[in-house]
Structure formats: structure tokens, C-alpha cells
Amino acid sequence: MPASATEDASFDAVSVNLNSALRSLPLAPPVVVGPATSVREALQAIDACGAEVAVIVDAASSVPLGIVTLRDALRAIINEDCDLAGPVAGIMTGGLASLAAEATVHQATVLMFRRGMRHLILTGADGRLFNVISQGDLYGMQAADSASLANAILATRSVAELAAQTAAVRRFAARRLVEGSGAQALCEWIAALNDLIALQAIDLVEAGFELPYVPWCWIVFGSEGRLEQTLVTDQDNGIVFAAASAAEAAGLRQQFLPFAQAVNAALDACGFRLCPGEIMAGNPTWCLSLDEWKQTFRRWISVPEPKALLNASIFFDFRPLYGREELVTELQGWLLQHIRGNTAFVRAMAVNALEQEPPLGWWRDFRSNDNRKYPHTLDLKGQGIRLFVDAVRILALAYGVEHTNTVERLRGVRPALGMPVEEAAAMAAAFFQIQRLRLQNQVSGEFPEAVNRLNPDRLHKLDRQILKEAFRQVRTLQQRLRLDYLN
């Protein structure tokens, strides 16, 4: 790829995006005080560091107890509720939500949007304070109007209002594309707002149902599971819940299904079309207990027939959206454990993935397919993005990489493959260039009813050249897959 087209030239270097771990962000050390520290001393510590907030930490355990901000202190002083010589614990805000430092920027952004939080405490695996992150640390990474759009989404009180805000998000994303936003940043931004829309839809619907008192979680699959949604997308979702037996699971499923079907209908009203293949939580096939999901995945892995391989290409890109995330974390760990080392299944996935090749002709030009309705066109999704996604998924599952995002998977698997950084960066850039053309085509393409169909003859000469090079990177990735698993 030309250097000017590379959106992630450093690749392995720390570059902030919504898939970055919070631990990797360039944050200043937190201002830490004890609960007995006076308000005056706490404010002096904040001022000395040029910070906005201090974290009150228990000296014995290093566990964060709460925070105090300059705004909190000023309000308390104005209201005469503050003794500057008194302990800072008297004016701190306790009981705040926290997030593990290993969580992603995307997770922190959605959590802070939903709860209207200006600061978020980050903790280590042992529960001790790691750092504190502010809205400014996160929101500055996204479009300037993202906060106002998020607030409008969260202020909705009906599905009809939410649908109107969803349309506003689509219009704004289209504008950002025209203004020159890169494909990576725009797709990440769309993913964050789409998550908020889905979370709000679930909240609105859940208020009308009496759900079982068991742990459960709404799961998303496919492009939503990879945080790679574009402007036109349908639903791929399911539910996982805890059950002690098959009989209990059957009873709980009947209680969850009406709720799930209502959520699917609400999302459809918001522009997330019902899945043509019925991969939705309202389908009893995909509303399962944790053990039933494991059994389903085990069948696909054990007997990799065509239908199982097709399902794997959708369902193995999953992440939690709403509810008890630990259920999904356990399922993800179980899946990686059962695939890693299963060469027969990985090989079957590779054979399936290599059935489709990039649309490059033998001599320098594109090879269009025989689609009668859209002759002389390329399918940017099926002949481009999907080839990247399928190949990188196989490598990630084979090497136990936990990420679901395609570029994060590539970054995670690169060292194990011995792939040069420059080669991996070129593949990532190629992926984003095809995404960019997809987004442009969805806004102003020749075929509104087939938004992934593109006539390459209508491209600018430079875009034609970039697209060819992007397809060559797909071919290189497939050659690696062929050498590793088919020889």
C-alpha cells in the first residue's frame, strides 16, 4: 500500500483507537490521597499536578474508595458544606463504577456515556487502583459531536424517539465521511453509537417485562461482534443465560423469548434490519444456556460440515453487549481452548475460506463476476472484506488470540506468525481502504439496493490502483493460509 494510504503505519506501536486496552493509554499518574487527608491538602495535591481529580484510596488495601474533583470541592465550599480542615472522605463521591485496566477504550466510552460519568476508575486484576480516566481522555478520540449525539440517544423514552436519533446518527456519519474521516475512526465511532442505541433499546423494552432472576447476557455476533459495522447493517444477536439443567434451560428460554423478540422488533424499527437467516435472540435456536452454547459450538467443531463452518464464520465473532459479561467471557475462553490445537477443524475452516478469491484478473485488471442484475461489478463485502475477516479469524482462533476485531486479531497473531510489521500494517491499511470504499458506496453508490456492489470503472484512477493493491494484500494473506493449512 502507498504510505499515504496507510491508516496504521506503526501497527505494533501504541496507537489509540477504540480497541486499545485502557492500560496502554498515555495517562498521567493519578493523584492519590488517603481518606483522612484534609480537603485543603487534597486540593493542593490536585493543583500541584495540574489535575482535575484525586482518588481516595484505602492505605491498607490500595483499593479505591471514591474520588473528589475540583468541581465537587468548589460546590461543597460554596454551599458551606465543606470544612477545609476536615477529611476529604467527607466530600468524596463513593460507589463509583470501575473498569479493569485490561478493558478497551470502546467499553469505557460506552459505560461513561450511559452513566453520564465524567471520570472512571481503572483497577488492576487484584482490584487495586491502576489509574483514573476522564471524558476528555476518551471523547477527544471521536467525532466532535459524539457526546451530544450520545446524550440525545440516552434521553429517548420510546422506540420511536430512538429510531429518530438512529437516523440522525446515520446522517451525521455520512457527513463525516464526506468531510474526510478515515474508515477506521468512522467505523469505530459508528460501533460506539450503535452500541448505545442497542443498549437503550434493550433498556426501553426490558421495562415492560418481568425477566427471570438468573444471570444472562445479550450477545452480538458478526460485524457488530467485531466492532466493524458500516452504515447499512442487519441484526446478529443472541442470549446466553445460566441454568443448572436442560429442563431449567427450557423453562427459562420460554421466559426470555418474548422479551428477546420485542428487542429484535425495536432494533428493526431503529434501522437494524431483522436478520434474513434469523440469527437473533428471539429465535429459540439462539437463546441458550451457557452449557447449551458450549454444546452447540462443540458440535460444529467436532463435525465441521458446511453448515457448521458457515455458522462458525458468524458466531465465533462474538462479544457481550448487555448483562452479565462473565458468561460470555467464560464461553470465549472455552471456545479458544477447544479450537486451539484442533487442526482438523482449523483446516476445514481454511478450505472453506479459500473457496472465494479476490477479484483480480490474470493480467492487471479486476475480474467481475457473472451477476446478471449488476454486471461488471465487484462485491466489496463478499469479495473483499469477508476474505480478510475469514482468514484472520482462522489464524486468531488457531493461535488463541482473544480479540474479535479483525485488525486487533492481526496485531495479536503477527508475532506468532513471524510476519514483518510492515507486512501486517499493509494488510491493515488494505482492509481499511476497502472499508472506506464500502462506506462511500453506501452513501452515494450506483445501486442503493445493493450497497456493497461497485463498478470499478467508475472509480478515480488512484482509487482503482489502491483497490487493486488492497486485493493483492488479501491474496497474500490467503497464500499464507494455504501454505500453513493446505500443504
pLDDT score recorded for residue 15: 54
Ordered by where they begin, the domains of the chain are 3-12+347-485 (1.20.120), 22-139 (3.10.580.10)
What is the 3 state secondary structure string of the chain?
A: CCHHHCCCCCCCCCCCCCCCEHHHCCCCCCEEECCCCEHHHHHHHHHHCCCCEEEEECCCCCCEEEEEEHHHHHHHHHCCCCCCCCEHHHCCEECCCEEECCCEHHHHHHHHHHHCCCEEEEECCCCCEEEEEEHHHHHCCCCCCHHHHHHHHHCCCCHHHHHHHHHHHHHHHHHHHHCCCCHHHHHHHHHHHHHHHHHHHHHHHHCCCCCCCCCEEEEECHHHHCCCCCCCCECCEEEEECCCCHHHHHHHHHHHHHHHHHHHHHHHHCCCECCCCCCCCCCHHHEEEHHHHHHHHHHHHHCCCHHHHHHHHHHCCCEEEEECHHHHHHHHHHHHHHHCCCHHHHHHHHHHHCCCCCCECCCCCECCCCCCCCCCCEECHHHHHHHHHHHHHHHHHHCCCCCCCHHHHHHHHHHHHCCCHHHHHHHHHHHHHHHHHHHHHHHHCCCCCCCCEECHHHCCHHHHHHHHHHHHHHHHHHHHHHHHHCC
CB neighbours of residue 486 within 10 Å: 10
pLDDT score recorded for residue 76: 79
User: For cell 443472541, what's the residue?
Assistant: 238
pLDDT score recorded for residue 217: 97
User: pTM for this structure?
Assistant: 0.84
C-alpha triplet 11, 12, 17: angle, nearest 5°:
65
Which whole-number Å values give the CA distances from 353 to 175, 296, 310, 337, 362, in the listed order? Answer: 35, 21, 10, 22, 21
Spans in the chain with pLDDT lower than 50: 1-9, 14, 143-144
pLDDT score recorded for residue 5: 41
Per-residue pLDDT reduced to its tens digit, 10-59:
566 545 577 788 988 888 899 999 999 998 999 999 988 888 899 999 88
pLDDT score recorded for residue 366: 85
pLDDT score recorded for residue 145: 59
Distance CA 289, CA 280 (A): 15
Distance CA 261, CA 206 (A): 11
Q: Cell for 245? A: 439443567
